[in-house]
């Protein structure tokens, strides 16, 4: 799937795509959200989950390397190569 097509889907549909085809990489927290990063082959996706009200607030896809910076201290590249 291409990023431009992915971003045309609803939040619920994007979540289903990530859940079925994404590979979990890392998670972080921000402003009460649990934000999970997934690899979808040709792009990355973040799932923003609010545990307080049990709602997925946002699912976005991107290719920007700058957007990956918040995860750099959470990713162990050696573990990724072993799997």
What is the residue whose two structure tokens read 């573990």?
79
Q: Hey, what's the torsion of the CAs at 62, 68, 47, 61, to 10 degrees?
A: 0
- Sorted by where each starts, the structural domains of the chain and their CATH numbers stand as 3-82 (3.30.67)
Report the candidate in 41, 45, 43, 42 with the shortest Cα–Cα distance to residue 18.
45
Q: What is the pLDDT of residues 1-27, one digit of tens each?
A: 899 999 999 999 999 999 999 999 999
Q: Are 78 and 63 in contact (CB under 8 A)?
A: no
* pLDDT higher than 90, residue 35: yes
What's the pTM value of the predicted model, to 2 decimals?
A: 0.85
What distance in Å separates the CA atoms of residue 23 and residue 44, rounded to the nearest whole number? Answer: 9
């Amino acid at each position: 799937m291409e990023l431009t097509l992915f971003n045309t889907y609803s939040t619920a549909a994007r979540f289903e795509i990530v859940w079925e085809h994404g590979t979990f990489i890392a998670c972080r927290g921000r402003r009460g959200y649990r934000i999970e990063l997934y690899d979808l082959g040709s792009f990355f996706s973040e799932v923003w989950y609010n545990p307080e009200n049990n709602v997925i607030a946002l699912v976005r896809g991107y290719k920007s390397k700058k957007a990956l910076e918040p995860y750099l201290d959470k990713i162990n590249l050696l573990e990724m190569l072993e799997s």
